[in-house]
Amino acid sequence: MERLKTREERYRREARVHRCLTGEYRMPLAVNGMKQCCRCGETKPVSEYYKDKSISDGLQCHCKHCDAKKLKQWRAENPERVKEHLRKYYVENREDILEQKKQYRQEAIKTEPYVYIATDRSTGCFYIGETTTTIKERFRDHKRFSNTGLGKHISKHNLSLNDFEIEQHQCLSVEESTALERKLISENIDNPLCLNERRW
């Protein structure tokens, strides 16, 4: 396929195709917020067109729907080039992509603050904590830091979240959950089954 140099040339070609289909040689421009698509021929609101400064009305001559359709078709016909393009994009933007993924994950696991009491079903040992993440994620943290009360207990007995009974107390703010956590810990710290360590 010939490689078309500029956008203008591409649009001229579009217009020629349009003439073949409709018998008219023209590139329809936007009128009163509406514009006719040079591919599907439908008249649609200008919001259905991407911007293009090289066209006098500032809009592409084909609608978003046709644009997406053509891109989809091109992707289906050129799987190797798509793969190569994605690979190149990944290599060039690796840092950004990883950072985005990390941020997305952190957003996805964010919760309102709450206090949790995790009780080991087999021994009755329990741990009191507070968090603004899901309990699953919080346990992952405890596993990572096996020097703290619950982490130590988990790694010593090779436990997972399923081995615990979880009781959650929803709070309206971090201040509230911190205060509740402190209160519960100081009430239970002398209980031999309590896995928390004295912090205050």
Among the listed residues 10, 39, 152, 169, the single contact to Zn ion using CB under 5 A: 39
Which residue of 15, 40, 55, 179 would you call a contact of Zn ion, by CB under 5 A?
A: 40
CB of 42 to Zn ion, least distance (A): 6
Q: Does 59 bind Zn ion (CB under 5 A)?
A: no
Considering the rule CB under 5 A, would residue 69 count as an interface residue with Zn ion? no
For helices 135-144 and 149-157, what crossing angle results, to 10°?
A: 80
Question: How far apart, in whole angstroms, are the C-alpha atoms of residue 21 and residue 15?
Answer: 10
> What single letter denotes the amino acid at residue 62?
H
Q: Which SS3 state, helix, strand or coil, does residue 151 take?
A: helix
Please answer whether residues 111 and 133 qualify as being in contact, where contact means their C-beta atoms are separated by less than 8 angstroms. Answer: yes
Q: What angle do CA 95, 96, 97 make, to 5 degrees?
A: 95
Q: How far is the CB of 17 from Zn ion (least distance, A)?
A: 12
Residue 169 near Zn ion by CB under 5 A:
no
Under the binding rule (CB under 5 A), the answer on residue 38 touching Zn ion is no
List interacting residues with Zn ion (CB under 5 A): 37, 39-40, 63, 66
